[in-house]
Structure 1
Amino acid sequence: MKMLASDYDGTLHFKDGYHAEDLEAIRRFQAAGNKFGLCSGRPMKNLLELETKDIRFDFVIGASGAAFADKGKIVYEKTIPYPTFEKIYSLMDGHNLFVSTKTGMYGSLADIGFLTGWCELADDLASPDLVQDQDIVHVSIEYETLEEIEAVLPRLEALRNEVAFYQNGPSVDFVPKGYSKKRGIDFAASFYGLEAGQVACIGDNYNDLPMIEGVPDSYTFDFAPAGIQKKAKHVVSSLAQCIAYLMEEDNENTGE
């Protein structure tokens, strides 16, 4: 049995939606007794709402490793202390900020149109006090350019002892201290009793680097940034091709 942990945005789901060949490959992979799941920077609450009749997940790793669910049941979900969130909030500087708690989602501006497409039900975060008594699981600040992120890096580094953060395109995702996509995958492998050789991952962006560098059987795409391609063990053109390689390896190992 193999386990494949897949990023969501830009890996499984694209601007034009899911790709039919990927969904069919996932179904074949699961039908052969393997496990397929998500490993995303998105909060768990949102990820658990993504299953449809066309796709199901054996597991979900959310908030860049800070949350894990088995067949839709949350096993753990870590939180960010409110005093740490206040410091993150101070970094917003007029940019879009998104907060997810265990019970709700919030956007920092009256116009939260930037959230359209995956969390339209977010409430307006008019003040950070609105989440003071809630369990904060994920925070994201959306900057307009990579240069803006570089400019704020010294202030981000000052928070490293309190929170983990990962660049995701022009955004920065904040999750509970000590967690990463690699740590989430390690937990999933242990949860299912799998060895390192049975585990693979695939992602397309810089926030995927912890798992791409840490999981020996790692995949990315030929359209991913050059720095990501350099770190991955395999470069493929699609998720379907990744799954085809994994199933071919499995057949070779079993002598079929």
Structure 2
Amino acid sequence: MKALASDFDGTLYFEDGVREHDQKAILNFQKHHLFGLCTGRPFIGVQHYIKDIIQPDFYIVSSGACILDKDGQVLYEQTLSKDTMQAIYQQYHHQAEVSIQADFRIYTLLKDSKIPIVQTYVETLDDVGSEHIFGLSINAKNEQQAKQWTQDLNETYDDIVAFQNKEYIDIVKKGCSKGAAIQKLKELLHLDYVYGIGDSYNDIPMLESADCSFTFHDSPESVQKKATYVVSSINEAIQMIEGQ
């Protein structure tokens, strides 16, 4: 069995939504293979945007901290401690918006949150669920600041790993990544071959781990160097896969 794992923002989903030619290509691909998401967003952060458009066969969410089947049932998860979550939040929330992915929700302590995803407002960190803290996201001012903070986080904390996604930073338990999740997915679903496609820095582990990978012509050069092929769309990538 073959599968294609796709990043969400800037790969499958754009400002104008899921592009029609990509949607059609995915639906045809799913007649014989599996298609799923591999994203830094949590499950709730993608459901609303693809409802009635795409029905993934699997979900790798929260930068690999959680894998779900097509029905949203958890197949695998790795969580952060509440102490680590609180320490990182306290360090950065005065400088940037920090959201917390926990219990399949996105929590924010800002009433005027600017992150365009459905979020749950709480007044204190104690109101954040503690059973399943999958990660945190920090919205830096720009890519340069995000790059520096990502480096600082990885040097400061022993139990987490931070990934830069343009001006965002996604933080999950150490050992988690989109790449590690691809390997776990192959084991869980007994897959023979996995393709990956993504557009940004946090997709590099997926591009390296996939048996064959794709990125775009406008992706950063460091990302293009890690991909097997450079394409213009998911549609083009699927055409290449079907032609192999």
Q: TM-score, length-normalised on structure 1?
A: 0.88
Aligned partner of 1:152 in structure 2 is: 149
Aligned partner of 1:253 in structure 2 is: none
- The residue type paired with residue 137 of structure 2 is S
Shift of 1:115: 1.9
Aligned partner of 1:55 in structure 2 is: 54
The whole-number CA distance in structure 1 between the counterparts of 2:25 and 2:196 is 15
The whole-number CA distance in structure 1 between the counterparts of 2:183 and 2:151 is 30
The whole-number CA distance in structure 1 between the counterparts of 2:176 and 2:18 is 28
SS at match of 2:225: helix
Shift of 1:24: 0.3
Shift of 1:92: 2.7
Q: Does the CA-based 8 Å contact 1:96-1:143 persist in structure 2? A: yes
Match status 1:84 vs 2:84: yes
CA change 1:14–1:51 in 2 (3 A) is closer
Shift of 1:233: 0.8
The whole-number CA distance in structure 2 between the counterparts of 1:184 and 1:154 is 22
Shift of 1:53: 2.5
CA change 1:228–1:82 in 2 (3 A) is same
The whole-number CA distance in structure 1 between the counterparts of 2:151 and 2:36 is 35
Give identity over the alignment, percent: 34
Aligned partner of 1:128 in structure 2 is: 125
SS at match of 2:107: strand
Match status 1:142 vs 2:139: yes
Shift of 1:104: 2.9
Aligned partner of 1:75 in structure 2 is: 75
Aligned partner of 2:21 in structure 1 is: 21
Aligned partner of 1:232 in structure 2 is: 227
Q: What are structure 1's unaligned runs of at least 5 residues? A: 250-256
- The residue type paired with residue 170 of structure 2 is D
The whole-number CA distance in structure 2 between the counterparts of 1:230 and 1:182 is 16
Selected match of 1:209 from 192, 204, 207 = 204
The whole-number CA distance in structure 2 between the counterparts of 1:80 and 1:111 is 26
- The residue type paired with residue 234 of structure 1 is Y
The whole-number CA distance in structure 2 between the counterparts of 1:233 and 1:152 is 29
Q: Tell me whether 63-72 or 237-246 shows the greater mean CA deviation.
A: 63-72
Q: Tell me whether 218-227 or 71-80 shows the greater mean CA deviation.
A: 71-80
Q: What are structure 2's unaligned runs of at least 5 residues? A: none
When the two chains are superposed, the root-mean-square deviation of aligned CA atoms in Å is 1.8
CA change 1:186–1:133 in 2 (3 A) is closer
CA change 1:154–1:242 in 2 (3 A) is closer
Shift of 1:241: 0.2
Q: TM-score, length-normalised on structure 2?
A: 0.92
Q: Does the CA-based 8 Å contact 1:110-1:126 persist in structure 2? A: no
Shift of 1:209: 0.6
The whole-number CA distance in structure 1 between the counterparts of 2:28 and 2:105 is 35
SS at match of 2:92: coil
Q: Does the CA-based 8 Å contact 2:108-2:122 persist in structure 1? A: yes
Q: Tell me whether 147-156 or 217-226 shows the greater mean CA deviation.
A: 147-156
